[in-house]
Structure 1
């Protein structure tokens, strides 16, 4: 491809359609007008497609190219099992609603061009798909079912509304109940009544075989299942010990007392802590594994890490960003072993202010590998045996507790928001069946590590912001004003208020609200609605601040083993420390970092969704053993189709509206209530309710409840 000619033609087309005398033309007509040779027609078509995708051209219903229409935008189509869909447009707040009659053959995850429609029901902007620019899915995971003359696959992805038709000769011998991967050979045509079609390319196993359920989710989210040979070979070539040459030019901190504090089963230990007193001040060291020493830029290891973006923590396995030989070996801060690190050493005063700091390449040696449980026993439980076993470290842990409390209070005063919803811990047996589900609550030890990591991340981000160098920040935008207005209207029903200007709210107001509702009946209700009004955090090259943490500068510096943005900024930090960030390297980072930030944000969202799906699957399987049993829970969600109830073990299930007997119930959207038309009985978010487990479905990963009082009256 002649890039210069390619760009010249792009510009000429844009100039052509912008001319007042231009009349919409078809592709052949434009090509003839511009005297494009037959040999160049394919490349010319590519130019037009690119301009459409960039919304620099529009395409009429008759296939003619014209000047861009402000009503035409490009985005990603997200389908719904009920036929309609949504389009996510980058940089636009709020998705576009696509009615089921306006999808125009778009398939889930397709890149589409849509035209905004006037009016429409409700407040959501409606649109119609006018062109599918690129297919987003080529493979689907699902359950095979065989008919006499053909087969079909029921997709695992609940967003897909249609089965995939599979001719028997392309089924690879699959039988009923097999979990399979299907390659799409056709996307169907609703107008002609034609289903999507595919061929089986892999049989994962029978749906009841151990591990196949999770493997299906892994494949459905296109998560990698192993490393290529060249990546593993490169990882295995890395030295197993730190050499004298590696230590050259580094600050030697091996005699400084330091520990790691992690979960009992953690194997990739990438952060260590040191702390001491200097008069009224604390000298806090956050020491992070120097992974970049072993993962060179643009190597096979680096490209694979960027592709993965993050480690994925599923209920029965970890899919690491880096091979275990690295993440559990030379890059893990193991007790008693010399390790290379990047250290952020901060002097913090009694008010929690960082009054001095330095960032340095160091060599460290961990004195003790501690667990959250052990540190909790020492600090919270005052366990004598535990304190005796670690007596030389107890003063250090007590200083950590003091400083962490100061830092937490400082964050509270500035307005940092802390949504303290319990995480889930699911205990499995050897075959992957759930034995126990319980909330995984934060304790003193987990909070200490969280507080210190937050401080290091802020300090590093602020340092590089003021150096005005290319960097990857972690940002969290201000909530949508409309959502905050709706929240304000709702909480007034409970006697609460929010101080907000027309366009923005300070995080301190959210924090104050959460403080006022703590311990009240409406706490769960208002907390969840407040959380839903927040935006999603993401990575960016622009430092626009972190709303939830109420801080102007924030990044991810502390987990380079499991997050690519941390690994990337470690490279930048080291080049800056070594004086190598000259014009050429600065330009290099300015060019690549937007792509790194975007890729990392997308892979983070994929990992979060996969983790949620595996949790839901195992929760549904666990509740199979409790069908007919009674539990007390809290109403966690209300929709037009029913009431969601969350149990103390974090399992969530649905009471379908048809199971609410004794009246006709409808959803009062304004007040988030389910209301009985004649009786006036109301179900509200946050209310306690006793339910009976009525059924479960591993396929849809759902649990069904019925109200207990109704069962008793039968």
Structure 2
């Protein structure tokens, strides 16, 4: 139906084409009905079938907005987001899968508009929010998720004893119809919104993250043996005499990867990546397996971890603790001096790690030369140095082929026993983290390519090319900083984006441009098809290295073991082909949910950290410019808003083309990347928002930045020694024009200045 030659056909025409016997006709009817039910095909009024995208329809997920409107995010990659006016939602809510009819293609620079014509699947059955008692007869719940713009009506008999301002979980019984709001029943009372711990618990409930394991899952975990039988060891390759280590964070408990390295002839090395064989303990269709698939991944929140597997497995028999026997899946790679894998072997193994190392200790050995640690781990020092050398070789090769390497500073939020944030510190990315990162990447690539060449059903980690419209906007954006994106936006190569990142390194605008670039790219996801990984510039990529905390890794371990032991029969291949699509979709969905929950808890704790900082001053950088103000990011990664209404020294207008706020009279312009000084004016914990005020000492450029011609940076510039000239400082209330001093004293300028001051004075008095 997607072929250009296809014209909408009736059922009889289709069935005559595809079904040969009566049994086939019945099966074909079932398939056609399922496709129509899921919105993948559409039946017209003339009773003919076609695909939505060729019938002026878009199938996708509705993303709501606090102001009442929404956007349909299309499933089809060739379509852009579709704007849906509040009056055209027709009962659809955020998260629903819908069909939308297009009203016409969007004009230049604007999104297409449409209306929801069918709700295929409801995205939410439960909502978390704050209950408000409106009267003795009814109440309502204000959803925590602002993408749900409307309150949920709660009749008196459905309140379950909830009192005013309590956090609750609501089960939706009646969805919105016309002007009527959704109606629900209070399923659970979490607690008063101001009680300790209720904030994080509300986020956990909102994203439907499980807090405990079902009893049958815990019982299944208890039945897993604590030791490894000799019979199982005999079935595997014994690597217990090989020297190897785990390298993780100091607080990690689920150690699922170990590494080893050996010097070979001709300058080659053998890198061994040994991954916990979780699939041996979590058998297909068992209670453990079903629960792991439902969860999809482990979730790491500020004050807790919600694991994919019960701790008895994740922290016990599956964790590669030092000096104990563990079952693993090994990928041995022979790597030459250029970083090419010239030979490899993938097989089940049994190991015994030599030491449990931390990133901090390995960094202290390799970078700081800590004598005490060098003496303590004397037998491993040569291995660490080989690993460092190999990781640099692998990274160099990866960067040469065009991999994109974002170097954001991540924040680590420290909390006390009550969950209150005590500090926010940068999360280091040292030589040790980079080393393990490179080893995991090369193992993932090697495994993915091997099973692709074998034509084995598999789960791949894919990252598709950026949307050309978003990339075009990014290309236009960076020209205002004097940079240029090389290549065609509809066929961009990752190398072109990495070139930009290298060019902006160590400049004031580095963080801003990096973030805008990241927003212009697609989200990585899981797929049974190998479509490559754009960001890594890799043709083949999978997730093989973390089966304790990611379900796709566990699944491919199961496939690998069946493949290398000869159990992957044609029937089993057919079985995997049938289930891997659903597994990939479920895993991708749960991963996005985990990321959203992690981001929300971080934002919450950052806002909470700033509550007692009201009135204090900080240095920051403008991270985003909008029509309503400036977002400023502090050195500790906390971001707040300077609303335009607080910028009282002038009338500011947003320039959509240059992404700037420009003063009407002063000529002052605020750009992304400008250094500013702000004062904390207030914190809204419920909205998780921080409000800043620009101080008069803050910098705002009075002239448009010159567009420089793209050129190669000098060695000093690349090393970070070349500095941008400081921007012209303008006093906050000077009102001075931007070009020269001669106009300052002109009668016209004085009259304009006086008029502006009178207007500003009236505004202040009115406020």
So what's the TM-score if we normalise by structure 1? 0.91
For structure 1, list consecutive stretches of 5 or more residues without a partner in the other structure.
1-11, 20-43
How much has 1:112 moved relative to structure 2? Answer: 2.0
The number of residue pairs the alignment matches comes to: 675
Report the equivalent of 1:275. 261
Map Cα deviations across residues 397-430 of structure 1 (whole Å, 9 max, x no partner): 1111111111111111111111011112111110
How much has 1:58 moved relative to structure 2? Answer: 4.0
Alignment of 1:230-269 (within 5 A): 230-269=216-255
SS in 2 for 1:242: coil
CA distance in 1, matches of 2:614, 2:606: 13
Alignment of 1:310-389 (within 5 A): 310-389=297-376
Report the equivalent of 1:454. 441
User: Which shifted more, 319-328 or 669-678?
Assistant: 669-678
Report the equivalent of 2:648. 661
1:58/1:72 contact within 8 Å kept: no
SS in 1 for 2:378: coil
How much has 1:66 moved relative to structure 2? Answer: 6.0
1:14/1:56 contact within 8 Å kept: no
Give the alignment partner of residue 478 of structure 1, picking from 452, 465, 469. 465
1:17/1:67 contact within 8 Å kept: no
Report the equivalent of 2:580. 593
How much has 1:710 moved relative to structure 2? Answer: 8.2
The verdict on how the C-alpha distance between 1:47 and 1:361 changes in structure 2, with shifts beyond 3 A counting, is closer
SS in 1 for 2:379: coil
Given the alignment of the two structures, is residue 134 of structure 1 paired with residue 121 of structure 2, yes or no? yes
2:10/2:47 contact within 8 Å kept: no
CA distance in 2, matches of 1:636, 1:617: 19
The verdict on how the C-alpha distance between 1:686 and 1:163 changes in structure 2, with shifts beyond 3 A counting, is same
2:9/2:48 contact within 8 Å kept: no
Report the equivalent of 1:8. none
Given the alignment of the two structures, is residue 116 of structure 1 paired with residue 102 of structure 2, yes or no? yes
How much has 1:53 moved relative to structure 2? Answer: 3.3
The verdict on how the C-alpha distance between 1:45 and 1:342 changes in structure 2, with shifts beyond 3 A counting, is closer
Given the alignment of the two structures, is residue 169 of structure 1 paired with residue 165 of structure 2, yes or no? no
Report the equivalent of 1:104. 90
The verdict on how the C-alpha distance between 1:197 and 1:49 changes in structure 2, with shifts beyond 3 A counting, is farther
CA distance in 2, matches of 1:577, 1:709: 68
CA RMSD of aligned residues (A): 2.3
User: Which shifted more, 277-286 or 478-487?
Assistant: 478-487
The verdict on how the C-alpha distance between 1:47 and 1:506 changes in structure 2, with shifts beyond 3 A counting, is closer
CA distance in 1, matches of 2:680, 2:10: 62
How much has 1:172 moved relative to structure 2? Answer: 1.5
Report the equivalent of 2:81. 95
How much has 1:186 moved relative to structure 2? Answer: 2.2
CA distance in 1, matches of 2:489, 2:635: 39
Given the alignment of the two structures, is residue 187 of structure 1 paired with residue 175 of structure 2, yes or no? yes
User: Which shifted more, 288-297 or 174-183?
Assistant: 174-183
CA distance in 2, matches of 1:581, 1:18: 36
Report the equivalent of 1:558. 545
Report the equivalent of 1:227. 213
CA distance in 2, matches of 1:91, 1:299: 35
Report the equivalent of 1:34. none
Give the alignment partner of residue 584 of structure 1, picking from 561, 564, 571. 571
1:57/1:65 contact within 8 Å kept: no
Given the alignment of the two structures, is residue 524 of structure 1 paired with residue 519 of structure 2, yes or no? no
For structure 2, list consecutive stretches of 5 or more residues without a partner in the other structure.
1-7, 16-28, 699-731, 734-763
Map Cα deviations across residues 243-267 of structure 1 (whole Å, 9 max, x no partner): 1122122111111111101111110
Report the equivalent of 1:85. 70
How much has 1:396 moved relative to structure 2? Answer: 1.3
CA distance in 2, matches of 1:425, 1:115: 45
The verdict on how the C-alpha distance between 1:660 and 1:181 changes in structure 2, with shifts beyond 3 A counting, is same
User: Which shifted more, 384-393 or 394-403?
Assistant: 384-393
User: Which shifted more, 703-712 or 584-593?
Assistant: 703-712
Report the equivalent of 2:378. 391
How much has 1:131 moved relative to structure 2? Answer: 2.2
CA distance in 2, matches of 1:260, 1:355: 25
The verdict on how the C-alpha distance between 1:66 and 1:99 changes in structure 2, with shifts beyond 3 A counting, is farther
Alignment of 1:25-64 (within 5 A): 51-58=36-43
How much has 1:120 moved relative to structure 2? Answer: 4.9
